[in-house]
Amino acid sequence: MLSVQDMSSDSFSTLICGVLLVVVLPVVSHLAKMVWRRKRLVDDKGNQIPHGPVGLPIIGSFYSLMSFPELKLYEWAQKFGSIYSMWLGNQLFVVISDPNVVKDLLVSNGAIFSSRKEMYVKSKLVFAGRGITTTPYDDKWKKHRRLGSTWLHKPAVEKYSNTLDDEAVVFVQDLYRHSKGGNVPIDISRHAARYPFNNMLAITFGVPPIEDVNDPFVAEAIRLAHEFMNTTGPVHNLIDFVPLLQYLPSFLSPMKARGKKLHNDLIATYGKMLLEVEERLKRQEPVPDCLAKTVLESKEELGLDQLDMAMLCAIFMIAGVFTTSSVVLWFSALIPAYPEIQAKAHEELDRVVGRDRLPTVEDEKDMPYIHALIKEVERCRNPFWLGTPHVNTHDFTYRGQFIPKDSVVIINTYTMHHDPQRYPDPHTFNPERYIDDSTMSSASANLSNPLERDHWMFGAGRRICPGMWLAEREVYLAIVRMLWAFRLEEIPGEPIDLKEYDGASGRCPVPFRVKLVPRHENVAKVLGL
């Protein structure tokens, strides 16, 4: 082995320079960037950044957000006001906790506040710079958004409404079968995931539904969705905000290793399905209209490569599975504790629908209480407790507070949903809050008065979730038909934990079981069982 003594003076100097380049320069660069960022806190008129917590050197306020971060952000909103700032590593965050401020910045000034920070784990490792929710506000994002909207806007949802309706029937049929007609407690999580998963298989890849809820493909889809939500929290990964950590090899950085593995798993699952559609098209086999077919036929015109297309399909599948399934699970976890609310919903169903048929989409307008119940679930148990971060592309001064270019601007959804001025006794589950609100959430998002908006689950501005119409339809059909068929009851000795949750980016309840009691003798007959 070569020793230091064996080295020439030039070799040793070269080694030292190499060490300086690899180790010291990144440290110096990181510290210099932090100093520069933190000095640039005042605009040319002397306006400062919003007040907020001071935090620690290097990591900022990260340590305060490691456990139940929504509660700390709520506490800071009470202390610092509806707009405040915090540092995570070298990144300045501006936290918005007021609907009027959300509208003023993200909607009225959407041209400035519609970009994204490319988080290291989510953007660079998992999506390799290609995911529609993570890319900056540029031409590539606009291409992806147009493609996505083609399959998610209202006219598109109406075209495959029969698929959604059929899968909602299968969902309730399977709940009945697997609970053995209400005689066996059931964990509905896999059922709640397979339902939107089958819809997304049809929309994204044009393939038939998975019939068996225990199919390994369903389990893999659930695992991928949950792993994504657990690795991509907006304030979750210190590696996103302390670039020095990004130089660590994967074996020393578990989150880095997880991000790379998740990327490979998405390619192995959804990238493979894209290739299968491509092969069918090359063989001139009939392929139903779907997202994969659209992107493959448009790839040259839009300049899309294989990774662009694979990641677009992957984010469709992840978001499509998780959003609907998590809302359905939160409903199922909440409602057993409120028998009087269930009874009121059941009375409305019996009066409007009766017991000889399943409720349909057309019935929703005549069932204001169930419409309100769903909105209340989405308010008090919103899976997305913090909005997907936006970034401003220019310096901006708002009400005498300076927001420097490249600040991460986030909607403090949890705090806005628990504002006692807007929602008296906000921690109480009470559908009556929305009893006079007949709007769909997709329409509510466009109201001119942001204080009249029902909730902020789907975000705001130009980056608002394009899948709102689809998610609303799926959630309604699942919940209204569960209520028509069953009375949901907690199992004695198995309390449902509503405090803990699974997920750092999007959240669903920790595993639980419920008892599904058929409401009347017609349930099996109407379900065709």
Tell me what the mean pLDDT of segment 233-254 comes to. Answer: 89
| 84/100 Cα distance (integer angstroms) | 14
Tell me the two tokens of residue 381. Answer: 């148990």
If pLDDT is split at 50, 70 and 90, which confidence band does 137 have? confident
Residue 199: closest CA among 227, 170, 220: 170
Tell me the two tokens of residue 73. Answer: 């952000």
Residue 323: closest CA among 188, 132, 508, 460: 508
Binding residues: 465
Q: For the CA atoms of the chain, what is the radius of gyration?
A: 25
| 255/125 Cα distance (integer angstroms) | 10
Contacts of 270 (CB under 8 A, 6+ apart): 204, 310, 313, 314, 317
- For the beta carbon of residue 84, count every other beta carbon within 10 angstroms: 22
Binding residues for heme: 465
Predicted local confidence at residue 26, as pLDDT: 53
Q: Is the pLDDT of residue 443 over 70?
A: yes
User: Could you tell me if 376 and 431 are in contact, meaning their C-beta atoms sit under 8 angstroms apart?
Assistant: yes
What phi and psi, each to the nearest 5 degrees, are found at residue 240? -70, -30
Tell me what the mean pLDDT of segment 282-301 comes to. Answer: 91
Predicted local confidence at residue 250, as pLDDT: 87
Tell me the two tokens of residue 241. Answer: 């905000």
For the entire predicted model, the pTM comes to: 0.90
| 98/82 Cα distance (integer angstroms) | 5
Tell me what the mean pLDDT of segment 70-82 comes to. Answer: 96
Mean pLDDT, all residues of the chain:
89
Rounded to a whole number, what is the largest CA-CA distance in the chain?
Answer: 93
Domain 62-527, CATH class in plain words: mainly alpha
Predicted local confidence at residue 495, as pLDDT: 95
Positive or negative, the CA dihedral 200, 145, 262, 238 is negative
